Amino acid sequence: MHSIFKMFAAYNAWANRRIYEAASRLSDADYRSDGGAFFGSVHGTLNHILVGDRIWMRRFTGEGPIQSRLDEILFDDLASLRSEREAQDGRIIAYIDGLTEKQLGQTFTYRTIVRPVDITQALAPALSHFFNHQTHHRGQVHALISARAGRDATPSLDLIIFQRETGIGLG
């Protein structure tokens, strides 16, 4: 199971590089305009993905900033957001690399944010949610960019493309 999560951590960083590159080619107006996604704009959604990652990494590791709102704008400019995104992806990869199969089956307890309650669950299913959450919202960003700049402006984020390009997950 550990190898699956290592693949997802590498895929996450790869997909983020691609979507941030596409976002960087938008005008500032298109980047910030509300396109009807849950967090509104490309800017709002990219910030939310980073907020979510920070929340979950703090739950997993006990380290990192404390986030209190899911819609928090952590960085107002794309360059700073991108820099922190890359750093966070590095932390995610390092964390996943350091896990053992035994740890994946162990439980941990965390407190939710929107309606605070304590939850105890096994780590592996929580990691599955963690990576799925990123993919879900990155898909929204992909749709927002496509709507503004056209299909050719957005690269494929398919996992199989990542696997073929990197060789990770093919063996």
Residue 62 has pLDDT above 90, yes or no: yes
The pLDDT value given to residue 170: 86
Whose structure tokens read 């929204």? Answer: 140
pLDDT band for position 74 (cuts 50, 70, 90): very high
Q: pLDDT tens digit string along 151-165?
A: 999 999 999 999 999
Q: Where are the domains of the chain?
A: 2-166
Residue 1 has pLDDT above 90, yes or no: no
Q: What is the mean pLDDT of residues 72-83?
A: 97
The class (CATH top level) of 2-166 is mainly alpha
Does residue 8 register a pLDDT over 90? yes
Residue 171 in this model has a pLDDT that exceeds 80: no
Mean residue pLDDT of the chain comes to: 96
pLDDT digits (tens, 9 = 90+) for 100-123: 999 999 999 999 998 999 999 999
pLDDT, residue 50, reads 98
